Structure 1
Amino acid sequence: MPTDPRGLRSDAPLLDAWLRFHEDAPTPFTIPGHKQRHDLVGDVVAGDVPLYAGLDTMKLSRGVLHDAERRAARAWGVDLCRFSVGGSTHGNQAVALALGRPGDEVVVSRTLHRSMLLGLVLAGLVPVWVRPEVDPAHGLPVGVAPTAVDAALREHPRAVAVLVGDPSYVGTVGDVAGLADVAHAHDVPLVVDAAWGAHLGFHPDLPPHALALGADVVVTSAHKALPAVSQGALVLARSGRIDPRRLDAGVEATATTSPAGGILASVDAARALLERDGAALLGPVLEAVDAARARLGEVDGLVVLDGPGTDPLRLTLVLPGAGVDGNAVEADLLRRGLPLEMADRDTLCAMVTLADTPAGVAALADALLESLARRRGPARPLAPSGVWAVDPETASTPREAFFAPRETVPLEAAVGRVSAELVAPYPPGVPVLAPGERVTVASLDALRAARAAGSRIAYAADPSLATLDVVAH
């Protein structure tokens, strides 16, 4: 029989409903088709309870989802919360539909995840790109400067929103409060894709979350930094500069009509855990990561991200000065059962959460130190990835290019043509080319360099990069 994790029942209505379902299982004549039988396809369906006629009645008469969302809104200090079983991808696209009308401009950080950029396609919004600053000490993005956003809004006074990602994929944290001040001075909302930052603000040694710093909307993944099931996410918003009805409509327009109750219940449980025990669980892990960071910082030439402007829970290493290839280190760690969130030639990134243990973090540090010592070679000069530096040349709106007739051409012949597809090295999933942008030598060089460094080229019709889909003449 399922058990109640950490006594969260009574403050997690969706979890409570999930437990009740298993304690007094019905004989359902509803979907899902497995009917709770584990003898057909195995335990892979264990715990799969639908929202409709599962956690709630088919008519949602108990209101458990609404109750859970209300509690999450209270936890983050906002008016509105919607749970998602489609990850932050769904949340970002729902928010895009809520911001304006087709043809409206939005100021967008170029390092936003591809899900929001494809949300612009769905909504017909036109991006005004702003680039993050890159720290010369480690070659990684540190956030978009408020002055850059202010300049963009002055040049595009009809823009209807500012969209940024914070914290970044590599754990850097920008000036969200400054961005909120600038956006609000121009009377537009600040939307933050905080997919990697659901834990922020729930321990005194962590940066505040973006909503506490003035953001109007935050999309965050409960399955990344919190112990929720994969695809669990939250959309959190305060009304005023965002129309709650439009946001609700955007969520419903892009959501499945058969949401997985297990995912929803896990988001609810993660929220209740974070509120009640988050600080107690985070404290020892933060201390362990700090200790690991100190040990790794003794490696000559290795850059370990630390200090203000970083998420203390993320362990990010920059390798060129230590003469180490991150792909080789990743292979060593995989052999020891220690996969990393990100690894390419120059960067390693370990995702640490409140579910980790000090012993586990120490073991990771041991394995890293051993591999770094064994793999050490001549130091390389720091060469920031072109992913963070390519300046897009806009030729048409993303929506126009996405729906335009397209043709496939050899990669070299694509230079000067307009991309019909979105192409991004993964990780981190930040586009080098987006629909509607002119293909340049610099963009192709950035893609080739990312692939040579060990990144997978994602979302392209031809991941080998032999060809590219462009808008037909």
Structure 2
Amino acid sequence: MEINDAPLLAAWHAYVDGGVTPFTIPGHKRAAARLWPALGAAVASDVPLFGGLDTVKLAGGTLADAEARAAALWGADWCRFSTGGSTHANQAIALAVGRPGDTVLVTRSAHRSTLLGLVLAGLNPVWLPTTVDPRFGIPSGVSPEALRGALAAHPSARAVFLVEPSYLGTVSDLPALIAASDVPVIVDQAWGAHFGFHPSLPPHALQVGAAALVTSAHKTLPAYSQASLLLARTDRLDPDRLDRAFEAGNTTSPAGSILASTDAARALLAARGPQLLDSLLSLVADAHARLRRTAGLLVPGPESFPAGRFDPAKLVVILSGTGADGIAVERDLIAAGVPVEMADRDTIVPIVTLADTRESVDRLVDALVGLVERHRGPARPVGLAIQWGAPAEAAMTPRDAFFADHETVPADRAVGRVCAEVVAPYPPGVPVLVPGEVVTESLLAGLRAARDAGTRIAYAADPTLGTLQVVRDA
């Protein structure tokens, strides 16, 4: 590979190596070590886009060049790099597909960022139910029958929003869902930036006819945190509307280092993707095999589902059959210097990426096996996390509830009231309650059970669930 294969990365190196004395922001000017060495180390790689990777007037067209290369790689007509993560990209696409008051069909496994995108855009969601695989207690996707029924019941719907793959690696029958829809299908593929670049992986969403996809370069690809891409086909979506929607929430001071890493990850995928993914898939397959030798552990994999319906690069470990508590295992993993992405009582999700090696994955598996044995107890039945259950009844649209007057009340007194905030176990950030939905005793009990088991409750003003914010009664 040549560095010029990644124009933003080349520009980053030219700036860093060029002896520049900048009189532009950022204020640290890559010289903060003179003020405080510890701070200087933290900002040493930070280079701006404006006045860094390009002139302040963007006369060099470097970002446009990099985005065009990404569009070509993914087979899109339009591409933008986000430094605000897939959160910004999901919110931008929500602003692009409809007008306030329009109906959209949305998988209930959607991330909080999509929900807040609906609030910003004033779109009214009709939730698509997520089926759950009873063997593992994890979501298995949206069925074509559910989508067809929702489209028939809501013929004015403007778009369909899906999350493929799910946080736990499962994939709906995406070609069938897109074939069933006569409106644009938008896919949050944040956890699937590697899809479509190896014959053993599912195709990415644009390859099977989606109108747009959002993907995170910092999740499974080796890019900076907050690096994300929004890619679209302009036969289904208006490019001018896409531009305006993207810029509505885009920072005016984009971090050039994030952009350069996005471009470099794209170049790496284009030049060496199959080779690197071969190694990743081999590492994960070996980890699956080793972990399955531990009595009671369930480790879903691609062979557990129909072809193309599970990400073979995903490692999900179900602990319930061992009796081990995932929160206790996670605590000991952190102490051992092996933190994982997600853990609740029954599930641990380590993220294995292109940057991992045989040694790093062996260290993870050795630690997991040993700690499961240390914490082994009476087996439990496979559980169902509260976020994969049926949604609450909606009494108001999310936007109306978000902007309504609200009050904070003891959680027990919130039962029967209309929720005014997002409440979600995190990870994965899939809401259990969204603004406009009626709080029920069962949902509150489920959230408290997750809290008591050690799961973080996110986005709620009171993460202890002692109080909830509800819409003030008229």
Cross-structure match for 2:392: 392
1:459 partner letter: Y
The secondary structure found in structure 2 opposite 1:224 is: coil
Counterpart CA distance in 2 for 1:43 and 1:136 is 48
Equivalent of residue 266 in structure 1, options 243, 247, 261: 261
Cross-structure match for 1:4: none
The secondary structure found in structure 2 opposite 1:19 is: helix
Asked if 1:197 is matched to 2:195, the reply is no
Cross-structure match for 1:469: 469
Spell out, residue by residue over 1:5-31, the C-alpha distance to the aligned partner (whole angstroms, 9 max, x if none). xx4411111111111111213222211
The secondary structure found in structure 1 opposite 2:359 is: helix
1:432-471 correspondence to structure 2 within 5 Å: 432-471=432-471
Equivalent of residue 27 in structure 1, options 11, 21, 27: 21
Q: Percent identity?
A: 59
Equivalent of residue 11 in structure 2, options 6, 17, 27: 17
Asked if 1:361 is matched to 2:356, the reply is no
Contact 2:451/2:464 (<8 A) preserved: no
1:452 partner letter: D
Asked if 1:177 is matched to 2:211, the reply is no
Cross-structure match for 2:54: 56
Displacement over 2 Å in runs of 4+: none
1:386 partner letter: I
Counterpart CA distance in 2 for 1:442 and 1:236 is 39
Q: CA RMSD in A?
A: 1.1
Cross-structure match for 2:153: 155
- Residue range with higher mean Cα deviation, 133-142 or 332-341: 332-341
Contact 2:401/2:435 (<8 A) preserved: yes
The secondary structure found in structure 2 opposite 1:172 is: coil
The secondary structure found in structure 2 opposite 1:61 is: coil
Asked if 1:216 is matched to 2:214, the reply is no
Counterpart CA distance in 1 for 2:434 and 2:206 is 29
Contact 1:457/1:463 (<8 A) preserved: yes
Cross-structure match for 2:69: 71
The secondary structure found in structure 2 opposite 1:315 is: coil
Contact 2:190/2:216 (<8 A) preserved: yes
The secondary structure found in structure 1 opposite 2:349 is: strand
Counterpart CA distance in 2 for 1:342 and 1:106 is 30
Task: Report how far residue 450 of structure 1 moved.
Answer: 1.6
Equivalent of residue 136 in structure 2, options 125, 135, 138: 138
Counterpart CA distance in 2 for 1:140 and 1:408 is 33
- The unaligned stretches of length 5 or more in structure 1 are 1-6
The secondary structure found in structure 2 opposite 1:111 is: coil
Counterpart CA distance in 2 for 1:205 and 1:322 is 31
Counterpart CA distance in 2 for 1:448 and 1:277 is 46
Counterpart CA distance in 1 for 2:424 and 2:254 is 29
- Residue range with higher mean Cα deviation, 12-21 or 327-336: 327-336
Spell out, residue by residue over 1:155-185, the C-alpha distance to the aligned partner (whole angstroms, 9 max, x if none). 00000000011111111122111111112xx
- The unaligned stretches of length 5 or more in structure 2 are none
Cross-structure match for 2:235: 240
Counterpart CA distance in 2 for 1:31 and 1:168 is 39
Counterpart CA distance in 1 for 2:443 and 2:239 is 38
Aligned residue pairs total 464
- Residue range with higher mean Cα deviation, 435-444 or 227-236: 435-444
1:286 partner letter: L
2:260 partner letter: A
- Residue range with higher mean Cα deviation, 211-220 or 81-90: 211-220
Q: TM-score, normalised by structure 2?
A: 0.96
The secondary structure found in structure 2 opposite 1:52 is: coil
Task: Report how far residue 300 of structure 1 moved.
Answer: 2.2
Task: Report how far residue 283 of structure 1 moved.
Answer: 1.1
Spell out, residue by residue over 1:285-330, the C-alpha distance to the aligned partner (whole angstroms, 9 max, x if none). 2112111111111222221011242211111011111211111211
Contact 1:278/1:354 (<8 A) preserved: no
Cross-structure match for 2:414: 414
Counterpart CA distance in 2 for 1:149 and 1:370 is 44
1:286-301 correspondence to structure 2 within 5 Å: 286-301=281-296
